[in-house]
Structure 1
Amino acid sequence: MNRANLNTRMQIGKGTTFLPGKKDPSVAKQIDHVLEHGYVILPSIFTKTEVDNANAELERLEASVSGPASKGGRNAFEGFQTKRVYSLPDKSRAFDCFPIHDTILKLNDYFLQPSYLLSSFHTVDIGPGEKPQGIHTDDGLIPLPRPRPLMGIGTMVSLDDFTATNGATTLIPGSHLWDDHQEPNRDAMISAIMPAGSVVYFLNTLWHSGGENTSNGRRRSLTVQYCQPWIRPYENFTVATGWEDLDQIPKRLLALMGFSTHEFMGYVDGRSPRAGVEMRKKRLIEWGIKQEEEKKGGSSKL
């Protein structure tokens, strides 16, 4: 990194530092809101058709065997009354539009460094009776003191209306400004109330949690998280996604999933990850042919 870039580093309160990128005028107000409060709600940025298609696919995936948490969470953090379908890029093309919405990417271009990655992309279907999730920050697994560098961005996409009673994401406004001595308190939390097709966008230094569902209905959503290009994502999309389907995935989404490089980071045998996949596919085909020939040769000797 050019040392001159370090002189532009911005510190937000006592909690967060980052290197600001391009501030697109079309999202300037949203950026200013995030800087002050740690989050911003983007109301109804997805169409009813996009939301309906996603919900239809969610019903199909939850009805099938779609991962270890598709019938219910395995621990209190996942939520025992909460269903999750992980690795969405490998499950359906109906979800492709959500991580690459223009407004979200423009915000990311300001808060994250170029070539940032998709860190996590899965459904969160909170059922009736679910308890509030533990209050956390999305960079909690990284043991660095505050103020610490911004490691990533979290977003929650509402596939149902988020209400105060059905498990809407809860957050503590301004907690991205805190140092390590200030403890989160649930009394300080607010609910991200918003209609279906909306997004709550927040820094991963912000304290937040999934809400309690005291209603009789579900709260369906997507969690889409992004990380700096030099961080290991939560989900390993380059392994989780079937190589035979890569050409069907939008190129921008493919890059976010890690089929891209940042400076020299992420290359495969000196090649781009996408070229590396083709190299491996070729070797697998050759290996398969050799195995078949050896089987046939063995059979002819009997």
Structure 2
Amino acid sequence: MRTLTTVAADAELDNVVKLLDEDGAVVVRDLVTDTVLQNLWNDLGPGLRGEQFGRDATAGTRTRRLSSLFARTRHLTPVVTHPLFLGAARALMQQPTSIWMGRERVQVTPNIQISVTQAIQIHPGQGRQPLHRDDALHLRRHPGPTSRVQIMLAMSDFTELNGGTLVIPGSNHWDDDRAPRHNECVPTEMTAGSALIFVGGVYHGGGSNRSDQPRTGLTIALDLANLRQEENQYLAVPVNDVLAYPEEVRRLLGYDACPPDLGWLDMQNPYTYLRRHETATHGAPAADSTDEPKR
């Protein structure tokens, strides 16, 4: 049976991309610092405690889920912009494609965006989650190009006993007729602050928590920006909360146009609107890259 490879947080990006392409998942040891982890707990812990358990097997009847994370904390930048997560997502998904514009054939490269954010706390007594592919939301056919790269940050230790995420390595290469089975899974085992990075086409699911303590993870998905976001970030994160993040994260939250012509506002890149709003409410915005009109 194939296993999950663990790499250091300063591993070579090319190696991580290769592992994701082959196995569909990889564990990154100590992806964030203890300080970042504690800040996330301080911001998200109270909200998690106030959430109700889910109502079905997919959501988990002994599982708490907290969404709209970029509106609840200012400490996600080291997670979403980590070179091995964001870098792998760009390498796997931002592939050029050729289209005709009149008589000219041009190459267009899509960008990527934050699709869903959740803190997920699996409590003792929770059974295994049904195995699934996250890119099924977009009715993707398999095997095929990668349209989602996701991270599961361990906010507490992940073990086989407490429900560490189950993964079927290599299942990202299966066709759509082959059904996943739990006896093909391996559990994600990693310490708090480490992370599982996986592609949307790999079969996975939360494990059964047979311990006496909850298991908590934080997940963020990056999707191709020409696909609809799973979580509506424009309603989930108020504009003033978006402005608390650096430019790269603002654009990942959807305030950017996807080539060739998706997501514009008044025929301009929506980041132009965001900068105007920042100027109107906070004075001169911080310097960042120059925005060009949509055309």
Q: Where on the TM-score scale, by shorter chain, does this alignment land: which range?
A: 0.7 to 0.9
Q: What's the counterpart of residue 201 of structure 1?
A: 197
Alpha-carbon contact 1:61-1:85 (below 8 Å) kept: yes
Return the alpha-carbon distance in structure 2 between the equivalents of residues 270 and 161 of structure 1. Answer: 47
| Shift, 1:277, TM fit | 5.0
Equivalent in 188, 192, 200 of residue 188 of structure 2: 192
| Shift, 1:99, TM fit | 1.2
Q: Does 1:182 align with 2:178?
A: yes
TM-score for both structures, normalised by structure 2: 0.80
Q: Structure 2 stretches of 5 or more lacking a match?
A: 1-10, 95-109, 281-295
TM-score for both structures, normalised by structure 1: 0.79
Aligned partner of 1:120: which letter? V
Q: What's the counterpart of residue 144 of structure 2?
A: 148
Q: What's the counterpart of residue 163 of structure 1?
A: 159
Number of aligned positions between the proteins = 256
Per-residue CA deviation, residues 222-247 of structure 1 (Å, 9 max, x unaligned), is 01111012111101112221123332
Equivalent in 76, 82, 85 of residue 101 of structure 1: 82
Structure 1's 63 and 142: CA in aligned 2 closer, same or farther, altered over 3 A? closer
Q: What's the counterpart of residue 17 of structure 1?
A: none
Aligned to 2:234, the other structure's residue is in SS state helix
Q: What's the counterpart of residue 259 of structure 1?
A: 255
Q: What's the counterpart of residue 218 of structure 1?
A: 214
Q: What's the counterpart of residue 33 of structure 2?
A: 47
Q: What's the counterpart of residue 66 of structure 2?
A: 85
Q: Structure 1 stretches of 5 or more lacking a match?
A: 1-24, 65-69, 284-302
What is the root-mean-square deviation of aligned Cα atoms in Å?
2.3
Return the alpha-carbon distance in structure 2 between the equivalents of residues 122 and 275 of structure 1. Answer: 28
Q: What's the counterpart of residue 233 of structure 2?
A: 237
Aligned partner of 1:45: which letter? L
Return the alpha-carbon distance in structure 2 between the equivalents of residues 259 and 230 of structure 1. Answer: 13
Return the alpha-carbon distance in structure 2 between the equivalents of residues 251 and 100 of structure 1. Answer: 11
Alpha-carbon contact 1:166-1:219 (below 8 Å) kept: yes
| Shift, 1:147, TM fit | 2.5
Q: Does 1:136 align with 2:122?
A: no
Task: Decide which structure has the larger Cα Rg and report it.
Answer: 1
Structure 1's 71 and 95: CA in aligned 2 closer, same or farther, altered over 3 A? farther
Q: What's the counterpart of residue 112 of structure 1?
A: 93
Per-residue CA deviation, residues 57-108 of structure 1 (Å, 9 max, x unaligned), is 22222345xxxxx222232211111111101111121333321112211111
| Shift, 1:32, TM fit | 1.7
Alpha-carbon contact 2:23-2:169 (below 8 Å) kept: yes
